[in-house]
Amino acid sequence: MAGIFSFLGGLFGGKPQAIAAPTERVQAILDRIHAQGRPCLHLVPGGEGRTRLGGEADTSGDWPRFRDRPMACLARVDLGEVRATGGPDWLPGEGRLQVFLDMGDRPQDFEPEQPGACVVRWETGPERPASAPDDLRPRSRIAAFPLKPTPRMSYADERIEIDWRALTRDENRTLEAAVLDMLSPEPAHQIGGYPGNLQGDDMEVQCAAAAAGTGDVRTFDPDDLTEATIEAARDWRLLLQVDSDPAAGLDWMQRGRVFVWVHEAAARRGDFGQVFAFVQFV
């Protein structure tokens, strides 16, 4: 779920009280939101650890580095488990994804948008836990936190045109409460579907522009947006969303979220050589 309701949900953690039933006008809006819903996997605590945050890296190559420092092992995604629980069909059905992220030397240096600051590897061979480099910094050592994929729907309220001024006060409250009910429970770790935006709703567009240009999402200029870029953005998919999670020891820029994106066609052929990462916070 995107937009202001994600902010309100995180800020207040609940919905207004004494909410009236949806009027015909409100129900029509909700029907449009539901019609554009996308399935996703909500990652909840539990499972055997085949899908997890942190822990040992199962990688056959050298431990990736960024600016001569070892990257954090952010997550391991078991693709067989993902497929078995109804995950995206654009992901390979076997093997595992190992996701690495540069954490910076200090919290204020954290900038996952930098080219090369996120690395995703698709591994299909025997599992070979790799020993962490001796110079891996403490802030880049993420303890293993098992996650269990659970099917869920995701929604994008920002992509539905709503004339709020045409609604009465009660209708506004009813609609806000209904949309808050659509939010994934926090922490909102997720694979596929719409992102749980905390700021702008243009990450796919930034990915498309960077892929066709500089390769750096930080150079995106909305004034240079073209119809071709907007069309190309439709092919970018949310590979992984990692929320701030006290139980897992993660806090992205004070209650933020990290998002990793991949092009659908590339993911279908097992190519994760170009991914883009973002951090958003309230």
- Residue 157: its pLDDT value, please? 72
Q: How far apart are CA 17 and CA 15, in angstroms?
A: 7
pLDDT of residue 156: 87
| Alpha-carbon Rg for the chain in angstroms | 19
β partners of residue 236: 263
d(CA 81, CA 9): 30
Burial of 106 from C-beta contacts in 10 A (0-12 / 13-18 / 19+): exposed
Instruction: Specify the pLDDT at position 26.
Output: 95
Report the mean per-residue pLDDT for the chain.
92
The partner residues of 263 in beta bridges, in order of sequence, read: 236
**How far apart are the C-alpha atoms of 66 and 74, rounded to whole Å?**
14
Q: What's the fold here for domain 4-280?
A: Hypothetical protein YwqG fold (2.30.320)
- What does the pLDDT look like over 176-221, one tens digit per residue? 999 999 888 999 999 999 999 999 899 999 999 999 999 999 999 9
Does 193 or 125 have the greater pLDDT score?
193
What order of strands is seen across the sheet that includes strand 72-78? 118-123, 96-101, 72-78, 52-53, 145-154, 38-45, 189-191, 236-243, 257-263, 275-280
Ordered DSSP codes for 33-90:
HHHT-EEEEEEEE-SSSSSEESS-EE-SSPPPEETTEEPEEEEEEEHHHHHHTT--TT
For every residue of 215-228, which 3-state class applies, written as one string? CCHHHCCHHHCCHH
Mean pLDDT score, 82-99: 97
What per-residue confidence (pLDDT) applies to 184?
A: 85
Which of the two residues, 15 and 31, has the higher pLDDT score? Answer: 31
Global pTM value: 0.92
pLDDT in tens, 132-179: 999 999 999 999 999 999 999 999 877 888 888 999 999 999 999 999
Structure confidence at residue 17 (pLDDT): 61
Tokens of 264: 């659908």
Average pLDDT over residues 233-245: 98
Task: Decide if pLDDT at 11 tops 70.
Answer: no
pLDDT higher than threshold 50 for residue 2: no
Which of these ranges, 5-19, 38-52, 102-116, 257-271, has the smallest mean pLDDT? 5-19
